[in-house]
Amino acid sequence: MNANELMGLNVVDSEHGTTVGTIKGLLIDQQEKRVSALEVSERFLSRSRFVPFESIKSIEHDVLMIPSAQNLVARQDLGSTGLITHLTGRHVFTEDGKDLGTVRSYVVDSKTGDITSITFAVDKTAFHGLWKSAGDSYDLPSRFIITLGEHVIVDKSVPDIIRMRHAA
């Protein structure tokens, strides 16, 4: 499932059959390369809480089911290290320093939370760097991702793989 498709889903407590909020954001474990929790906005101006990915019963096109509202936890209960709130917009570099572009989207396994692929766009500049746009986009399986951090670092073979796909 594309990570963007998770945003705005209703979160339903299956024990009571009530909507407890909507998905507002994701917390990504950098080491595990997976979504570890989803941020749930309960009401306007209320504090967000989080549902750990392992507490999710199911994810469908318009609803995310949890066993109970008791599964919602505070942010501090999830730990503070190694969690990032987004991948979209982060630069993609090869391990030898080649700038490949910017993450545009990513796919999450709806059963495990694993990030299975990222889509990045090659940045193109025009007018002597005054204007930047997204060029060609490429889907990259997660096995090529080395590091998720301030930047996404991928295997140095990725530019060759892209050239082979583009030539085919």
Q: What's the pLDDT at 128? A: 52
Higher local confidence (pLDDT), 162 or 87: 87
Query: How open is the CA angle 76-80-84, to the nearest 5 degrees?
Result: 110
Q: In angstroms, what is the C-alpha Rg of the chain?
A: 18
Domains of the chain (ranges plus CATH)?
3-84 (2.30.30.240), 91-167 (2.30.30.240)
Q: How far apart are CA 116 and CA 107, in angstroms?
A: 6
Which pLDDT band holds residue 71 (cuts at 50, 70, 90)? very high
CB-based contact 137:104 (threshold 8 Å): yes
Lowest mean pLDDT among 38-42, 44-48, 49-53, 159-163: 44-48
Residue bearing tokens 């290290």: 81
Q: What's the pLDDT at 130? A: 53
DSSP 68: -
Buried b (16+ CB within 10 A) or exposed e, 55-94: bbeebeeeebebeebebbeeeeeeeeeebeeebeebebbb
Q: How far apart are CA 136 and CA 127, in angstroms?
A: 19
Sheet holding 91-94, edge to edge: 131-141, 115-126, 99-108, 91-94, 152-154, 145-148
Q: Could you report the per-residue pLDDT of 90-140, keeping only the tens digit for each?
A: 999 999 999 999 999 999 999 999 999 999 998 765 455 555 556 788 999
Residue bearing tokens 């949890």: 66
CB-based contact 40:24 (threshold 8 Å): yes
Q: What's the pLDDT at 141? A: 96
Q: What average pLDDT does this structure show over 71-94? A: 90
Lowest mean pLDDT among 19-33, 62-76, 152-166: 152-166
